[in-house]
């Protein structure tokens, strides 16, 4: 660890993921996405183990996809959703991740505990439309540990955004996934050049687990 001009700079993974200034993020692990990935059981097992080891040592935040009403969505969002669901009319779009729907639920094996935070968010970055950054600054969190679905969408967007805002972004490669294996692997390669990509056992080893 270095201290230059009053700025503390971490030098290795042990310092970066120190529970005193880290937060575990479980991104969009909802039934509607979990059921689409090919390595569902592996991801749930890895995430469950990591969370169990980190719970009580650092804050844990779950995110939930929470779309705003269609009449307030951007033109771009509606365009991309029509492409995703292969429909020609906005009225034909399904109520994706609607409150109360089964697809919105968090799998039983990964249910939040009382001390966990569940954060509704409307966009593909944890920083947009939420109080997340305000919460992290208030808790003096400097390192964000990202897990969940999907690697090439919200994980990559949020990790890049975190880097741009001065956080230490850590992507746990065996605790993220996607329904598109090629996109998942490309995303991890891209992220490895600009943020920290490591495995869950390396994180646990760094904190003495």
For position 208, what pLDDT does the model report? 87
CA distances, 153 to each of 31, 49, 123, 164 (Å): 17, 24, 10, 17
For position 97, what pLDDT does the model report? 87
Q: Is residue 117 part of a domain?
A: yes
> Once rounded to an integer, what is the mean pLDDT over residues 76-104?
90
Query: How many separate domains does the chain show?
Result: 1
For position 95, what pLDDT does the model report? 85
Is the pLDDT higher at 200 or at 77? 200
For position 197, what pLDDT does the model report? 98
Q: Which residue range(s) make up the domain with 178?
A: 15-69+107-206
Per-residue pLDDT tens over the stretch 190-207 = 999 999 999 999 999 999
* Global pTM value: 0.94
The values of phi and psi at residue 47, to 5°, are -65, -40
CATH code, domain with 187: 3.40.50.850
Q: Is residue 131 part of a domain?
A: yes
Q: Is residue 57 part of a domain?
A: yes
For position 205, what pLDDT does the model report? 96
Per-residue pLDDT tens over the stretch 156-188 = 999 999 999 999 999 999 999 999 999 999 999
Q: Is residue 84 part of a domain?
A: no
Q: Is residue 166 part of a domain?
A: yes
For position 84, what pLDDT does the model report? 87
Is the predicted pLDDT of residue 209 greater than 80, yes or no?
A: no
Average pLDDT, the chain: 95
Q: Is residue 78 part of a domain?
A: no
d(CA 95, CA 197): 34
Given a contact cutoff of 8 angstroms between Cβ atoms, the answer to whether 198 and 204 are in contact is no
Q: Is 177 exposed, middle or buried (0-12, 13-18, 19+ CB in 10 A)?
A: buried
Given a contact cutoff of 8 angstroms between Cβ atoms, the answer to whether 48 and 198 are in contact is no
Q: Is residue 96 part of a domain?
A: no
d(CA 26, CA 29): 7
**∠ CA(34), CA(49), CA(47), 5° rounding?**
25
Q: Is residue 201 part of a domain?
A: yes
Given a contact cutoff of 8 angstroms between Cβ atoms, the answer to whether 26 and 110 are in contact is yes
Please count the CA atoms within 13 angstroms of the CA of 161 that sit on its side-chain side: 15
Q: For the beta carbon of residue 155, count every other beta carbon within 10 angstroms.
A: 30
For position 99, what pLDDT does the model report? 83
């Amino acid at each position: 660890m270095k201290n230059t001009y009053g700025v503390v700079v971490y030098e290795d993974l042990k310092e970066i993921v120190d529970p005193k200034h880290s937060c575990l993020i479980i991104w969009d692990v909802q039934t509607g996405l979990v059921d689409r990935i090919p390595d569902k059981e592996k991801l749930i097992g890895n995430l469950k183990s990591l969370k169990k080891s980190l719970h009580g040592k650092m804050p844990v935040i779950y995110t939930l996809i929470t779309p705003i009403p269609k009449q307030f969505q951007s033109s771009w969002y509606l365009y991309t959703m029509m492409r995703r669901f292969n429909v020609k009319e906005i009225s034909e779009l399904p109520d994706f991740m609607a409150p109360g729907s089964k697809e919105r639920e968090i799998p039983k094996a990964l249910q939040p505990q009382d001390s966990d935070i569940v954060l509704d968010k409307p966009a593909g970055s944890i920083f947009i439309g939420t109080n997340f950054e305000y919460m992290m600054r208030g808790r003096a969190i400097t390192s964000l540990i990202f897990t969940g679905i999907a690697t090439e969408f919200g994980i990559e967007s949020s990790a890049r955004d975190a880097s741009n805002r001065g956080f230490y972004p850590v992507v746990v490669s065996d605790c993220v996934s996607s329904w598109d294996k090629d996109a998942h692997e490309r995303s991890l390669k891209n992220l490895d050049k600009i943020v920290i990509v490591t495995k869950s056992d390396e994180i646990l080893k760094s904190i003495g687990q």
